[in-house]
Amino acid sequence: MSASKSCKVANLDMEGVVRFLFAAFPRATAQHTEAVTGVSSGTVENWLRGRAKPSGDHLGAMVDAFGPAFVSAAFPSTRQWTAPLIARSRLAEIARELSALAEAAE
């Protein structure tokens, strides 16, 4: 058994994980999550139905894909330090969108 499969993640809020995924992808949640993270839709379905929890590797894939917003949802104790990161990430996203709109208007 690999280290990631035997690793227990302390303080993981599965309800927060599930809420986050449904908010990100209201339809075909497991399939969209697979497309973004590479985690099989069957595995994601098991999380959504409460039959399993993400492994360390899968949590890493989620953090890579969704950033601090996922960390905040999955680990509520991190919200104090993830809030500024989420705000900066959103500002960067808005700046990219504004830049794309300005280029399209030219």
What's the pTM value of the predicted model, to 2 decimals? 0.73
Domains of the chain (ranges; CATH) run 12-105 (1.10.260)
* Strand, coil or helix: 43: helix
When pLDDT is averaged across residues 72-81 and rounded to a whole number, the result is 80
pLDDT digits (tens, 9 = 90+) for 18-52: 999 999 999 999 999 999 999 999 999 999 999 99
Which parts of 1-106 fold into alpha helices (H)?
3-6, 14-24, 29-37, 41-48, 56-66, 68-74, 79-105
